[in-house]
């Protein structure tokens, strides 16, 4: 079981972040949805900020664009998750390099695909 923060979590069932939360929970992972808009997603408390999460995170899966991600870069480096997954549309090239330099695994991938082909936990 991994502790996974979903950055850009949503209550909208058509959003990939919502679908990822469903699949992560179904596969036994502990999820921490992070959203500025929501208080709860799928019955799980939503966090306003990554710093509000007290548990050490294994993975942060990113569903926000690079403009917003850039503002969170230092917070993520300080949290030291094992890896950060950049889902399609969320890539932030400069920030990815800085995460790698900080010893954090960076993965450009779709969390939904990784879960569906049983490769989510390979990193």
Please write the tens of the pLDDT for every residue from 2-34. 999 999 999 999 999 999 999 999 999 999 999
Helix (H/G/I), strand (E/B), else coil: 59: strand
Sheet holding 59-62, edge to edge: 30-34, 3-7, 59-62, 83-86, 105-108
CA–CA–CA angle 12, 17, 37 (5° rounding)? 55
Q: Which DSSP state fits 53? A: -
CA–CA–CA angle 95, 106, 74 (5° rounding)? 40
- What is the tens place of the pLDDT at every residue in 24-79? 999 999 999 999 999 999 999 999 999 999 999 999 999 999 889 989 999 999 99
Inter-residue contact 34 to 27 (CB < 8 Å): no
Has this prediction a pTM greater than 0.85?
yes
Query: How far is Cα 75 from Cα 51, in angstroms, rounded to an integer?
Result: 7
> In the structure, what pLDDT confidence band is assigned to residue 91 with cuts at 50, 70 and 90?
confident
Q: What domains are defined for the chain?
A: 3-122 (3.40.50.720)
């Amino acid at each position: 079981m991994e502790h996974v923060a979903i950055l850009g979590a949503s209550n909208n069932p058509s959003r990939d972040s919502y679908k990822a939360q469903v699949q992560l929970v179904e596969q036994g992972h502990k999820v921490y949805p992070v959203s500025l808009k929501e208080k709860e997603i799928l019955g799980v408390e939503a966090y306003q900020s990554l710093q509000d999460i007290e548990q050490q995170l294994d993975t942060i899966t990113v569903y926000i664009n690079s403009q917003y991600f850039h503002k969170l870069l230092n917070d993520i480096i300080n949290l030291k998750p094992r890896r950060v997954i950049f889902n399609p549309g969320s890539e932030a090239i400069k920030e990815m390099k800085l995460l790698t330099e900080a010893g954090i695994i960076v993965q450009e991938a779709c969390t939904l695909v990784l879960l569906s082909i049983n490769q989510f936990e390979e990193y």
